[in-house]
Structures are given as structure tokens and as C-alpha cells.
Amino acid sequence: MKELKQIVNTKPVWDSFLEYLDKTITLVHKRLEQEADVEKIYRAQGEIAALRRLKYMRDEFNSDTKGLY
């Protein structure tokens, strides 16, 4: 957990990570728009949801109310 906390609290690293997540979300979103198979649509939606959740990882690590870290 210590290593992850260093990543989320180092601004240049965190900003690069967010940029990577945004680009990946854009690519998956394009794939989602072109997909016809329902199962693949659900998978792409899940992938986007997971990537968006990672964008809030900093808040979760630095949150005092969770008490998990």
C-alpha cells in the first residue's frame, strides 16, 4: 500500500496516470460504440467503469473516513 500511496501523492506521476486512463477510456468507448455483440458491450462497459473507478483511487487512499489504509 505504501508504494501506491507514493504514486497517488506524486503529482507528475498521478497526472500521467490520469492521462493514460482518459486515453484508454476513449479507446474502449470507441470500441463500445462499434460493438454489436451484447456480451462484448457489457464487458466494455465494465472496463470503462473499472477505469473510471481508478481515477478516484487517490481520494480513497487519502480518505480518513474509510480507515482502510
Global model pTM greater than 0.75: yes
What distance lies between CA 23 and its chain's CA centroid?
A: 11
**What average pLDDT does this structure show over 19-24?**
98
Query: Three-class SS of residue 1?
Result: coil
Is residue 69 included in any domain, yes or no? no
Residue 9's φ and ψ, nearest 5 degrees, are -100, 5
Q: Is the pLDDT of residue 11 over 50?
A: yes
Please name which of 22, 5, 11 lies closest in space to residue 57, comparing C-alpha atoms.
5
Is residue 47 included in any domain, yes or no? yes
Is residue 43 included in any domain, yes or no? yes
The residue range of the domain holding 31 is 2-62
pLDDT in tens, 24-39: 999 999 999 999 999 9
Buried b / exposed e over 2-26, threshold 16 CB at 10 Å, is eeeeeebeeeeeeeebeeebeeebe
Number of domains in the chain: 1
Task: Tell me which of 67 and 3 has the higher pLDDT.
Answer: 3
